[in-house]
Structures are given as C-alpha cells and as structure tokens.
Amino acid sequence: MSKLKEIIKSPHVQIALATGISIIVMAYFSKRILPKPIGYLPTAIPPFLMVVYEALLERYKTKKICTTWYWVVAIFSTTALIIILYWI
C-alpha cells in the first residue's frame, strides 16, 4: 500500500490524473449533455496546461509556481469554464 501512496504523491501522476479526468468529463458532457459538441481546440486546453506545468517543473522545481495543486485546480477550472461556455 505504501508503494501506491508513493506513486500517487508524485506531482507527475497527480497532474496526469487531473488531465485525464478533465478529458473524460469534457467528452461525456460533449457527447451526452451539451447541445453542441466541444471542439478540438478547447478540448486541448487542459492537456496544454499539463505541458506548461511539466516545462515549468523542469526549470523551476522549488518555486511556488510549481505547486501541484495550483495546476490541478487550473485544469479543473478550465474544464468547468469550457463546459459552461459551451452550455450557454
């Protein structure tokens, strides 16, 4: 069990999980709930944030900008914003 906790504590895994969840949520909303499907470009925004995070983490590992939960919140917030904008 401690091995699993160690893996989940990794910032790379946390960001990847947040991005994966956001893609699944957008796909579900796009297919089942929204009046029109979400386009390819808006769907790519959360993975793009993941790439930006990974690039910053390589360069500024100890800086506050690389706090993982900031980026997880940003990914989930942009997902919610995209869904809301397509719902309106």
Q: To which residue do tokens 């960001």 refer?
A: 15
Q: Nearest Cα to 86, choosing from 32, 19, 22, 36?
A: 36
Q: What is the pLDDT of residue 46?
A: 95
Residue 62 has pLDDT above 90, yes or no: no
Res 72: pLDDT: 96
**What Cα–Cα distance (Å) separates residue 36 from each residue in 12, 39, 76, 77, 85?**
33, 9, 21, 20, 11
Per-residue pLDDT tens for 64-75? 988 999 999 999
Confidence of residue 61 (pLDDT cuts 50, 70, 90): confident
**At 14, which amino acid appears?**
Q
